């Protein structure tokens, strides 16, 4: 088949393995395994969905090679033969779809904690992990040798389980990277100092694996730049890659960043697509073995261009495949517009850091693959009215349609999308617009009518006689009451919709939740001087940490004044009086913006619920929250309605 992404779909060759295309599923620890470290059926189902989705290679998430290097409680283990049979089942499942199966091998070094391992973490040098703050114990030479053997034994176990290859995780600040990086390796023995000494641990492991399992493919995931002061940088990393090639590595998988560098290994939404492709591009000039590139790859055109322009041999996709396991097949079939886009909201990795299994904001079925209901027509009770076309309404309509219902969406505004239309306006939130367009595109694909400018009433209910009603009428901005005169204040929506374009003004934003902070982010782009007043002690406390930190960096850089633990006492002409503790202070303001939140709009639900036996309330209309909860509620209600339709 001639496809405009022909470079992406050209087959690759790795040793004796023919790879059907150039897309590699990046290793992602999802914690769907058993607490014992064994493979679960849930994990197999998750990987099978991605294998079925058409990728060329799957690198299964980091498996622990030694108990002292375990990173999370339900992480896979490969340190003993008893783990082989589960992994065998996993490798078989992946390979049955014509996909190359690799297993990543990890020792976390200082980037774990005694809470997980039950012992003091170990590392090349006793330097505290800047994130966990725990000081590791310096490894003795005999212990290093022991860990080299543990890696080699783990690789043998992976080969016995039937994997085509393994990947040595030498990136992201974990043990091998800790040895490689002068930032974390301060040893004076043969494992520290020169590049040759710092890479000894890695080279010994690689050479050892090649000796005992010459047929096993070995990929090395390498930090091309640690992005920390005194850490590995591109020039030295290229030398390391060249040495790995000489030692028999089959693939160099380029990555970057550590726990400490924070934002550049699993990036927040402000990073540009493929921003770090230059790293792999440089390595590619110096080695002959294939090189994998990636990092925020979302569009097939961009991924294809990386291969076509010889900047990489393979591309990795991580979060894009959590959001849509069928990414590759959709591209292949010319349906890339139908890819469910990742929002880069990082709620997935946030679950990981909390020790929970991974959930995806836009894909309810990630980690629930086996529970997905068959798409078949329901019984005769099958007409559904969905009122409201924000994320909850659109997702409910789509899920119900796929379950065989006849669905109509009613929207009172002239445009569909609800609050997504506003939420996509602040800087780096444009992916929400893509997500809205994806949902609308899917509804069009499935021929679900959306009636715009329609105020659904009791009369509409009588006329249309739906079997089920899903109310997703969203929320309304909170209007504060009390003694303060708010006449001089405008709403955050007025700003984001450019109803009041302002530049070079002093603006005071009242309310420092994520909405208030994002409005500040929007305003500083137009050279306004902004102050945020928030009664809680932290700004945007509910936001995901990486995206929050990224936004706060921008606000700090622009000199935004952050007044937390503060309340507004008066809004006067040209100033706002604020109370913090026992002190009052006046802030000059050309403009005052209200961002004090939203409240559920459930009037219609209360009315319809009295008239109809099957009315459901979801999304912000139920409880003001986020896209993730909207999607969960929409899917849950769709499933419930499906079950009820058979009763």
Ligand X SMILES: Cc1cc2nc3c(=O)[nH]c(=O)nc-3n(C[C@H](O)[C@H](O)[C@H](O)COP(=O)(O)O)c2cc1C
* Among residues 122, 244, 342, 502, the one that binds ligand SF4 under rule CB under 6 A: 342
By CB under 6 A, tell whether 349 contacts ligand X.
yes
By CB under 6 A, tell whether 395 contacts ligand SF4.
no
By CB under 6 A, tell whether 29 contacts ligand X.
yes
By CB under 6 A, tell whether 49 contacts ligand SF4.
no
Report the residue number, 224 or 296, with the smaller CB distance to ligand X. 296
By CB under 6 A, tell whether 424 contacts ligand SF4.
no
Give the strand pairing for 217-225 and 165-170. parallel
**Half-sphere exposure of residue 100: CA atoms within 13 angstroms, side-chain side:** 29
Tokens of 207: 């050479």
Provide the CA 316 distance to its chain's centre, in angstroms.
14
290 interface partner picked from ligand X, ligand SF4, none, CB below 5 to 8 A per type: none
Active-site residue, selected from the candidate residues 46, 83, 151, 174 = 174
Provide the CA 212 distance to its chain's centre, in angstroms.
37
Report the residue number, 106 or 343, with the smaller CB distance to ligand SF4. 343
CA distance 634 to 505: 41
Sites for ligand SF4 among residues 320-339 (CB under 6 A): 322-323
By CB under 6 A, tell whether 319 contacts ligand X.
yes
Element (H, E) at 315: strand 314-317
Report the residue number, 298 or 591, with the smaller CB distance to ligand SF4. 298
Give the strand pairing for 561-563 and 100-106. unpaired
* Among residues 219, 237, 256, 346, the one that binds ligand SF4 under rule CB under 6 A: 346
Report the residue number, 26 or 105, with the smaller CB distance to ligand SF4. 26
C-beta of 269: minimal distance to ligand SF4 in Å? 8
Report the residue number, 491 or 636, with the smaller CB distance to ligand SF4. 636
Q: Give strand pairing partners of 294.
A: 316
Check if 438 is active-site.
no
Place of tokens 């330097």: 127
By CB under 6 A, tell whether 318 contacts ligand X.
yes
Strands (E), 69-140: 100-106, 122-123, 137-138
CA distance 381 to 147: 62
Q: Give strand pairing partners of 585.
A: 578
By CB under 6 A, tell whether 423 contacts ligand SF4.
no
SS3 breakdown of the chain: % helix, strand, coil, rounded to 5? 35, 20, 45
Element (H, E) at 238: helix 234-246
SS3 (DSSP) at 111: coil
Tokens of 540: 């945007």
Q: Phi, psi (5° rounding) for residue 231?
A: -90, -175
By CB under 6 A, tell whether 105 contacts ligand X.
no
By CB under 6 A, tell whether 28 contacts ligand X.
yes
SS3 (DSSP) at 420: helix
- For the chain, the straight-line distance linking the first and the last C-alpha, in angstroms and rounded, comes to 46
CA distance 150 to 366: 32
Report CA-CA distances (Å) from 449 to 385, 387, 398, 430.
Answer: 10, 12, 11, 25
Place of tokens 């690789």: 155
* Among residues 76, 202, 362, 471, the one that binds ligand SF4 under rule CB under 6 A: 362
Q: Phi, psi (5° rounding) for residue 121?
A: -60, 155
Q: Give strand pairing partners of 351.
A: none
294 interface partner picked from ligand X, ligand SF4, none, CB below 5 to 8 A per type: ligand X
Stretch that binds ligand SF4, among 12-20, 170-178, 228-236, 356-364 (CB under 6 A): 356-364
Stretch that binds ligand SF4, among 57-65, 253-261, 318-326, 630-638 (CB under 6 A): 318-326
Stretch that binds ligand SF4, among 118-126, 315-323, 328-336, 521-529 (CB under 6 A): 315-323
Stretch that binds ligand SF4, among 143-151, 212-220, 342-350, 532-540 (CB under 6 A): 342-350
* Among residues 345, 384, 591, 638, the one that binds ligand SF4 under rule CB under 6 A: 345
CA distance 391 to 35: 34
SS3 (DSSP) at 372: coil
Report the residue number, 362 or 641, with the smaller CB distance to ligand SF4. 362
Stretch that binds ligand X, among 14-22, 43-51, 313-321, 535-543 (CB under 6 A): 313-321
C-beta of 349: minimal distance to ligand X in Å? 4
624 with 390: CB under 8 angstroms?
A: no
Sites for ligand X among residues 52-81 (CB under 6 A): 61-62
By CB under 6 A, tell whether 420 contacts ligand SF4.
no
By CB under 6 A, tell whether 28 contacts ligand SF4.
no
Report the residue number, 269 or 528, with the smaller CB distance to ligand SF4. 269
Tokens of 144: 């290093």
CA distance 463 to 470: 16
Sites for ligand X among residues 144-183 (CB under 6 A): 169, 171-172
C-beta of 257: minimal distance to ligand SF4 in Å? 16
Can you give 6-66 as a three-state secondary structure string? CCCCCCEEECCEEECCCEEECCCCCCCCCCCCCCCHHHHHHHHHHHHCCCCEEEEEEEECC
| Size of interface with ligand SF4, in residues (CB under 6 A) | 13
Report the residue number, 263 or 451, with the smaller CB distance to ligand SF4. 263
| Size of interface with ligand X, in residues (CB under 6 A) | 25
SS3 (DSSP) at 407: strand
424 with 499: CB under 8 angstroms?
A: no
To the nearest 10 degrees (0 to 180), the angle between helices 84-95 and 41-52 is: 20
C-beta of 435: minimal distance to ligand SF4 in Å? 8
By CB under 6 A, tell whether 296 contacts ligand X.
yes
Beta-carbon contacts of residue 646 (< 8 Å; ≥ 6 apart): 378, 379
C-beta of 82: minimal distance to ligand SF4 in Å? 32
* Among residues 74, 117, 361, 519, the one that binds ligand SF4 under rule CB under 6 A: 361
Sites for ligand X among residues 207-226 (CB under 6 A): 221
* Among residues 39, 49, 228, 344, the one that binds ligand SF4 under rule CB under 6 A: 344
By CB under 6 A, tell whether 320 contacts ligand X.
yes
297 interface partner picked from ligand X, ligand SF4, none, CB below 5 to 8 A per type: ligand X
Q: CB atoms < 10 A from the CB of 413, how many?
A: 14
Report the residue number, 442 or 601, with the smaller CB distance to ligand SF4. 442
Stretch that binds ligand X, among 149-157, 293-301, 485-493, 552-560 (CB under 6 A): 293-301
54 interface partner picked from ligand SF4, ligand X, none, CB below 5 to 8 A per type: none
Binding site for ligand SF4 (CB under 6 A): 319, 322-323, 342-348, 360-362
Which residues are known catalytic residues? 174
Binding site for ligand X (CB under 6 A): 26-29, 61-62, 104, 169, 171-172, 221, 255, 266, 294-297, 317-320, 348-349, 352, 358
């Amino acid at each position: 088949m001639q496809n405009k992404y022909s470079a992406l779909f050209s087959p690759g060759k790795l040793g004796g393995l023919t790879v059907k295309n150039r897309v590699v599923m990046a290793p992602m620890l999802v914690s769907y395994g058993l607490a014992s470290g064994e493979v679960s059926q849930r994990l197999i189902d998750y990987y099978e969905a991605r294998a079925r989705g058409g990728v060329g290679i799957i690198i299964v998430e980091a498996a622990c090679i030694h108990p002292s290097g375990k990173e999370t409680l339900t992480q896979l283990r490969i340190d003993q033969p008893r783990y082989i049979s589960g992994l065998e089942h996993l490798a078989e499942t992946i390979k049955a779809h014509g996909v190359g199966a690799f297993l990543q091998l990890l020792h976390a070094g200082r980037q774990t904690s005694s809470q997980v391992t039950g012992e003091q973490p170990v590392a090349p040098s006793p330097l505290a992990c800047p994130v966990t703050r725990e000081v590791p114990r310096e490894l003795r030479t005999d212990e290093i040798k022991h860990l080299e053997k543990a890696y080699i034994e783990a690789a043998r176990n992976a080969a016995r389980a039937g994997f085509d290859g393994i990947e040595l995780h030498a990136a992201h600040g974990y043990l091998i990277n800790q040895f490689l990086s002068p930032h974390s390796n301060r040893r004076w023995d043969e494992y520290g100092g020169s590049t040759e000494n710092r890479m000894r641990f890695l080279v010994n492991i690689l050479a050892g694996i090649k000796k005992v399992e010459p047929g096993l493919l070995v990929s090395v995931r390498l930090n091309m730049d640690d992005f920390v002061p005194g850490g590995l940088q591109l020039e030295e990393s290229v030398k390391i890659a060249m040495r790995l090639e000489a030692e028999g590595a089959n693939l160099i998988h380029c990555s970057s960043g550590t726990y400490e560098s924070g934002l550049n290994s699993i990036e927040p939404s402000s990073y540009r697509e493929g921003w770090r492709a230059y790293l792999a591009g440089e390595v590619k000039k110096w080695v002959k073995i294939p090189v994998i590139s990636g990092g925020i790859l979302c569009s097939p055109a961009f991924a294809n261009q990386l291969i076509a322009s010889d900047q990489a041999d393979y591309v990795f996709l991580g979060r894009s495949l959590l959001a849509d396991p069928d990414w590759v097949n959709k591209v292949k079939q010319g349906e890339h517009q139908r890819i469910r886009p990742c929002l880069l909201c990082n709620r997935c990795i946030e679950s990981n850091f909390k020790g929970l299994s991974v959930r995806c904001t836009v894909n309810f079925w990630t980690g629930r693959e086996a529970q997905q209901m068959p798409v078949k027509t329901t019984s005769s009770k099958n007409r559904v009215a969905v009122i409201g076309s924000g994320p909850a309404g659109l997702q409910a309509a789509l899920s119900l349609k796929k379950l065989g219902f006849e669905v109509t969406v009613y929207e009172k505004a002239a445009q569909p999308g609800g609050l997504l239309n506003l939420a996509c306006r602040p800087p780096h939130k444009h992916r929400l617009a893509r997500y809205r367009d994806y949902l609308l595109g899917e509804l069009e694909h499935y021929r679900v009518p959306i009636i715009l400018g329609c105020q659904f009433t009791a009369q509409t209910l009588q006329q249309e006689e739906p079997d089920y009603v899903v109310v997703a009428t969203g929320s309304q901005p909170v209007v504060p009451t009390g003694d303060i005169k708010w006449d001089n204040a405008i709403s955050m929506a007025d700003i984001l919709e450019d109803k009041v374009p302002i530049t070079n003004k002093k603006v005071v934003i009242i309310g420092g939740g994520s909405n208030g902070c994002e409005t500040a982010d929007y305003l500083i782009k137009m050279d306004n001087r902004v102050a945020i007043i928030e009664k809680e002690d932290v700004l945007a406390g509910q936001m995901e940490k990486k995206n929050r930190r990224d936004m706060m960096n921008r606000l700090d850089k622009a000199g935004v004044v952050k007044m937390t633990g503060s309340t507004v006492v008066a809004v006067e002409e040209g100033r706002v009086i604020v109370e913090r503790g026992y002190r009052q202070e006046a802030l000059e303001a050309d403009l005052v913006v209200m961002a004090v939140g939203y409240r559920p709009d459930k009037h219609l639900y209360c009315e319809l619920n009295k008239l109809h036996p099957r009315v459901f309330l979801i999304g912000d209309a139920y409880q003001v929250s986020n896209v993730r909860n909207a999607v969960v509620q929409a899917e849950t209600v769709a499933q419930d309605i499906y079950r009820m339709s058979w009763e």
